[in-house]
Structure 1
Amino acid sequence: MPSPARLWSGAAMEAPIEPDADQARDWAREELSKRVYEEAEPGLLDRFWARVSDWLNELFEDADGLGAGPGVLVLVLAAVVLVAVAILVIRPRLNASAKKRAEVFAHDVVERATDHRTRADQAAAENRWNEALAEYFRAMVRSAEERVIFDARPARTAAEAGTRLAAAFPDFHPEITWIQQRFDEVLYGKGIAADADYRRASALDTALEAARPASSASAEPPLAVPQ
């Protein structure tokens, strides 16, 4: 990511002395279309980008009335710098928040699968279906770890856990995919579970406990090596 100072100095050296509004608009769009900005755009930044886009359009419309001159360059470069700073500040926080929310186990205390099942049934007895479904998914993941089907790994996400479970129990792949997606929906989205979800999750947990895992399920997939 180029620093605001480099953005300013690079544009100032290469730009005409008195750009008009159209030239300034083209420079700003060219700068913001660079890959570094695209890579800094996780899903949680969609609304931010939409607002920035609307703001820049209004800014450029206002700049049309200013005519050519250094003032246009200063105005547009200020907009680019503000966007760059926003990316640097917002992106790490949103990515860290999303990573934390996506984890199967929300704390460092390691509980047994039976503990999660008990909590699931207690939640169901109080019609707290979201919690009941989530606890049964946690029970499945913890049980697989206890059975050494795959290693316990801190900060494993629901998607990662679902992939490991599906590899261990390929006959149950559709049901495992369903509960992993429902886990994310009810905890981190706007999904709402019901009694039927709880019963389906409970039945899947019972089936996985009785099933024999695939022989190749114990090996974790290799980690990608940065190039």
Structure 2
Amino acid sequence: MMTTVLPVPLLDAARIVHAGGRRGVPGDVPATPDADQARRAAEEELAKPAYHHAASVWQRIWQWLSQHLDPRDAVPGAPAWLSTLLVFVLVAALLVALVALITRVTWARRATRPDAPLFEDDRDAAALTRAADAAAVRGDWATAVVERFRAVVRSLDERGAIEDYPGMTAHEAARLAARPLGELAAQMNQAAGLFDAVRYGRVEPTPTQDTWMREFAERVTRAPLALEAPAGQVHA
């Protein structure tokens, strides 16, 4: 013979009804509750606060969003599919505007930064030139421009026109190279400005700017430099 096992709330309800029958309920009421009595007793039992757990904060937030921000009802009078589409377009536009704003603020912060050191390692001019050429081949114009200007400055140091030092900036290098470069001094200042603009993200370089920097580097290589004679040297 199979025995039906009631859940705990239903079992408690059944016990309540059964106990009530023993405490003076009319004798025609059966000791075992019928289905309707058991159901009503179970509903009364389950309605007690002890069986209801308070929703968490996140559950309440999600319930509120689900009830008030349903994209299907966001546009009154519009079909559900059109309302949903308009909501997603609006959200996408807001995200694009937010990204543009963050990018603009980042560039503005970079623009106000002081000049950073020009060199980050001890590579010679030839190594820096190779790095610039390799970057240009793969279309990384920013790296190409930056590395080629570094190669120009390092080559001037190697030729004795200037003496680079730790912490030197692009504009400091341009000022030091003004006299040795002579008529190329103005272009050296332009190259230093382009270096800073690219390095700090104010300018997204193009192949044209890479070509200009390459041609400038070649002119510096061919240019005769006005070198200072060592102190105490006697000219014939």
TM-score by length of 2: 0.47
Answer 1 or 2: which has greater helix percent: 1
User: Larger relative contact order (C-alpha < 8 A, sep ≥ 6)?
Assistant: 1
TM-score by length of 1: 0.49
Find the structure with the greater CA-based Rg: 2
